[in-house]
Chain A
Amino acid sequence: MPHTPSAPVGGIRVGPSVRSYAAELTTSCLWLVALMVAAALLLRLIDSTPSLLTGLPRGVVRLHSVAALEHVLGNRVPAPAYFPASLAWPPDDIRMFQRQSVALWFRQRPTNEIWFVQAMAPAGSSAIAPEVMAPGVILQSEPALLSGAPALVQRIRDTNGVVWHQILWRTNRHLLLARSRGSLDELMRMAASMDRR
């Protein structure tokens, strides 16, 4: 068998079998990395399909009733005892993000437009997740008292340019937000009538 000269690599002379071994291992690693990247992209694409179909952000779940929401959360959802007759019950839309932030959207009866939004997150949260309700641009912000507890009253403009009033306050169990296109007095009255636990 003829002798095959080995090539110097980094000062060490290696034979063709070592080189082919290294080459095959390198090729195998490259294919593995390519496969993992392709698999990751494909999985992410499949994962985003529900969001594409429903138009909801990733991780947001739409629930069909307040009862279903309470079942998922394992808790009662605070609701305003004062609920104007002009608002339609049940909520038009219920969205939940990571089983923590929740927003309930209500329509006004005569106009059929979204008129009132109630959102909540666990007490330790710093804010309602923007995935369930966009924060909007704050036009005015004032501290206030809601049934003797500190609250924040704000006037905001949403992404559609609509101006809303909103109240943000905390209870023992929740960070709560109520947002309305109606009068501030009515919004304050609704917020004050909510479960204080």
Chain B
Amino acid sequence: MFAYAGQAILHGIIAALFVEALLRLWRVGEPDERLALRWLALAAPLLVTPIYSLAAPVRATGSFGVRWALFSGHHWDQLRLGGTDLTTFVTLVLMGLGLLLFLRDVLPYLHDRMRTIAETRVTDPGDPRLARLRRVLALIPDSPSIDADVVLIDRDGPVLLCSGAGRRPSVLASTGALARLDDAELRAALSHEVSHLVRHDPQAGWVLLLLRTLQIVSPAAQIVGRHIVQELEYRADMTVAREGYSAELVRAIARLSQADPALSNPERRARPEFRRRLVAHTRRLAEEARRCRLEEAAPETRSVAPIRAVLAAAGLALLLFFVV
């Protein structure tokens, strides 16, 4: 079981690097194709590793490892570190890293979700803020098709997200977010959330969480999972850009992130200054990258995308067959 976990982790790392290289070599800009390739990297260890283990037991023999394998973890058994072989040591370190990355993303998510559920909601239909939210949402062409619940949370902090967990999809916004955005910016931000709902991204998020949980000790799966979330965001951003609201979305992102309590809350400022600066710097870089992508011309859809996805899957499967 431990050897299988080690091989699945190794396959995950190779799949992630393989897909990352393909995205660059093929210059894939179209969000759907980028997403398809990322999903391939995430799913490959869950499909390929068990199939090969069951259907091709010859891969586990020593002669395959020596004569045919491109890489065999057993060859590292001869190097020892701290009383154990290097293969076991590296596998344990990677498992710990994978678990850490998983918890790093999931715990804050669960915390925020529980907090959002418990928060006071503005339910008065006559409340002008709720009325404004509904009015701006109605301006978005796709909003009637999704028939989303509109939820206004009474919080100063910036919250603007969508959820597909209930019977009906919902768009959640906080009073703090509404106060910081003008109508055009709010429309751009809501259009981004509606795009998520139209494409069933919240459901994709649950599938993503499931696949990450199944590979809880694989660091590559956790990193690819993060990349998939970024690609989903990018795809929603592109929808807003196509509607001609990219400048407004850039402004909305800037205003909401300035009000993020992670950077401005006095309680949180007590943490080490260097860490606060690092977080702020990383956020700035991410926002800058997002802004640049929004200002770029939208990538064209390529008709070769489906064939390329199949080719990538076949190539990756072939490569992983010789990694034991």
**Contact B62–A97 (Cβ < 8 Å):** yes
**Contact B78–A60 (Cβ < 8 Å):** yes
**Contact A35–B304 (Cβ < 8 Å):** no
Chain B residues in 8 Å Cβ range of A28: 26, 304, 308, 311
**Contact B304–A43 (Cβ < 8 Å):** no
Chain B residues in 8 Å Cβ range of A58: 66, 75
One of A47-55, A141-149, A167-175 at the interface: A47-55
**Contact A99–B62 (Cβ < 8 Å):** yes
Chain B residues in 8 Å Cβ range of A36: 315, 318-319
Task: Name the contact of B311 in the complex, choosing from A32, A39, A54, A97 (C-beta under 8 A).
Answer: A32
Task: Name the contact of A31 in the complex, choosing from B25, B74, B75, B322 (C-beta under 8 A).
Answer: B25
Question: A residues bordering B, Cβ < 8 Å?
Answer: 21, 24-25, 28-29, 31-32, 34-36, 39-40, 43-44, 46-47, 50-51, 53-54, 56, 58-62, 64, 97-100
Chain A residues in 8 Å Cβ range of B72: 47, 59
Measured between alpha carbons, how far is A39 from B322 in the docked complex, in Å? Answer: 11
Measured between alpha carbons, how far is A60 from B66 in the docked complex, in Å? Answer: 9
**Contact B71–A51 (Cβ < 8 Å):** no
Question: B7 CB to closest chain A CB, in angstroms?
Answer: 13
Binding site secondary structure of chain B: helix
Measured between alpha carbons, how far is A58 from B78 in the docked complex, in Å? Answer: 10
Question: B61 CB to closest chain A CB, in angstroms?
Answer: 8
Measured between alpha carbons, how far is A82 from B158 in the docked complex, in Å? Answer: 83
**Contact B25–A50 (Cβ < 8 Å):** no
**Contact B315–A35 (Cβ < 8 Å):** yes
B22 on the interface (CB 8 Å rule)?
Answer: yes
Which residues of B from 299 to 318 have beta carbons under 8 Å from A? 302-304, 307-308, 311-312, 315, 318
Chain A residues in 8 Å Cβ range of B76: 50
Task: Name the contact of A35 in the complex, choosing from B21, B65, B322 (C-beta under 8 A).
Answer: B21
Question: B158 CB to closest chain A CB, in angstroms?
Answer: 42
Chain A residues in 8 Å Cβ range of B77: 61
**Contact A100–B62 (Cβ < 8 Å):** yes
Measured between alpha carbons, how far is A35 from B308 in the docked complex, in Å? Answer: 14
Question: A99 CB to closest chain B CB, in angstroms?
Answer: 5
Chain B residues in 8 Å Cβ range of A53: 79
Chain B residues in 8 Å Cβ range of A61: 74, 77-78
